[in-house]
Structure 1
Amino acid sequence: MADDNDKSPLTRRRVLGGMATIGAAGAVGAGTWAQFNDTEEASGNSVIAGTLDLTVNGGNIPQGASLDVSDAAPGDSGSQSLKLKNAGSIAGVLEVDFNNLSQKGGDNPEPEQEADGDNSGDLADNIEITVGGDYATATFTLQEAVDHTPYELDSKMKGTESGTAKVEWSIPGDVGNEIQDDEVTFDVVFTLSQNGQQTNSP
């Protein structure tokens, strides 16, 4: 029979066990403390998309923008001016493109037969096109324009900004009979594309 007054001596294991129990209880108690906090709300936020709208001669269906020339001869030249406007609110890159080229050799009169026996159409290689006006100027043959455009006129046409694009054509005086009665048709297309990330936002 064990002695009720028997008190087991403290051992190192018992002391460490008791400290661990107290430490665990203290950890549980520490987790119940609250911290101050405050929340504020900024309301009324909005994002509105901008617009990009290129107009030619005041409209989206250009009036008076066609180039129509007949009986052209070596040494002849002409031009067409077009009013361009970014009617939108964000900046864009303005480019011009020449495409849908079609050419015919025509009736192939005798002088042309001697200079160009195949009558395949040589006018596109012998018309020089210059694009400029208020924008960067470049000159190329019509065939080169079709092969290598679009050509950049303005790297950053701002919203509401406007300018005049001038398209000039000429047939050099040293061109010969190979172009007699030849005919070309083509489209001139102006494009305004978004200029990357906009910088007009706060």
Structure 2
Amino acid sequence: MTRRRLLGGLSAIGAVGVASGAGTWAYFSDTEESSGNTIEAGTLDLKVADTDEGFGDGVSGTWTISNAKPGDSVLADLTLQNAGSLEADHVEIGFSVDETEADGSTGTNEADTMPSSADGMADQFEVTVFTYNGTNVRSNLSDANSNGIVDIDDLVTGNGAVLDDLSPPPSANGGTESMTMEFRWAHDDEFDNSVSGINNDYQGDEFDLTVTYALHQDSGQDL
């Protein structure tokens, strides 16, 4: 064998060895994925119903007295429903009023001893019944304005702690709880340190009562 043939053969063997070595680094691999992973938020969805309107996002005219006079009262029952998918921590109820000096023949008669203002009219209406889930909320309310009765004004300004922690809340997915409230236009002689004829300050006047209901997820939440 000639020198040229010998070297050519060794070159061929080396080329095969290189090719074989490169092949050992070709590892297999495979990948898969987990799909369809979503986070869907639950809901707190409070609905309210009274004897005139079915469950909805609000009701109107629940406590209404027309042509009212001292001694008149109005009682109404409501039902709160959690139409959402989450359990709540508690219910809160808030009150606000808009007192209006009436215009026209009934608001300007001479018997109205405070014809320029209806301020304080909410103080006239005593809360005689207030229950939630059969519990007597009325017994825990205080006379915040110190006029001798627990009235609508006291619900607006002085009893937030009582009204911010009503339990149990309606349970998720359609659970309900009931609320009943009655208020009455008190007479002059039912107020502490009353002045004769105080009811006459409000002849022909009116006040609008708004009641707000809240379903809260956490104990620290409030309106």
Cα 1:49–1:167 shift into 2, 3 Å: same
Q: Deviations over 1:136-160 (max 9, x none)?
A: 4135322222223551362341324
Q: Given the alignment, which residue of 189, 194, 202 partners 2:217? A: 194
Cα 1:95–1:65 shift into 2, 3 Å: farther
Q: Structure 1 counterpart of 2:203, which letter? A: Q
Q: Which has the larger Rg?
A: 1
Supply the distance in 1 between the matched residues of 2:216 and 2:45 (Cα, whole angstroms).
9
Aligned residues: CA RMSD: 3.1
| Structure 1 residues 102-121: aligned runs within 5 Å | 102-106=98-102, 107-113=107-113, 116=114, 118-121=116-119
Higher strand content, 1 or 2: 1
Matched, 1:179 2:202: yes
Supply the distance in 2 between the matched residues of 1:64 and 1:122 (Cα, whole angstroms).
23
Matched, 1:94 2:91: yes
- Equivalent residues of 2:63, 2:74 under 8 A apart: no
> How many residues are aligned here?
152
Task: Give the match for residue 24 of structure 2.
Answer: none
Q: Structure 2 counterpart of 1:163, which letter? A: E
Secondary structure in 2 aligned to 1:73?
coil
Supply the distance in 1 between the matched residues of 2:43 and 2:115 (Cα, whole angstroms).
53
Q: Structure 2 counterpart of 1:94, which letter? A: V
Task: Give the match for residue 141 of structure 1.
Answer: 151
Task: Give the match for residue 16 of structure 2.
Answer: none
| Structure 1 residues 21-100: aligned runs within 5 Å | 49-57=41-49, 58-63=54-59, 66-92=62-88, 93-99=90-96
* TM-score w.r.t. length of structure 2: 0.56
Q: In the TM superposition, what is the alpha-carbon distance from 1:65 to its structure 2 partner?
A: 5.4
Q: Deviations over 1:30-79 (max 9, x none)?
A: xxxxxxxxxxxxxx998654321111125333346533221111111011
- Which sits farther off after the overlay, 166-175 or 129-138? 129-138
Q: Deviations over 1:10-48 (max 9, x none)?
A: xxxxxxxxxxxxxxxxxxxxxxxxxxxxxxxxxx99865
Supply the distance in 2 between the matched residues of 1:46 and 1:148 (Cα, whole angstroms).
45
Secondary structure in 2 aligned to 1:124?
helix
Gaps of 5+ in 1: 1-43, 198-202
- Equivalent residues of 2:121, 2:202 under 8 A apart: yes
- Equivalent residues of 2:46, 2:57 under 8 A apart: no
Task: Give the match for residue 162 of structure 1.
Answer: 176
**Among the aligned pairs, what percent are the same residue?**
26
Q: Deviations over 1:175-194 (max 9, x none)?
A: 63222112101211111010
Cα 1:71–1:180 shift into 2, 3 Å: same
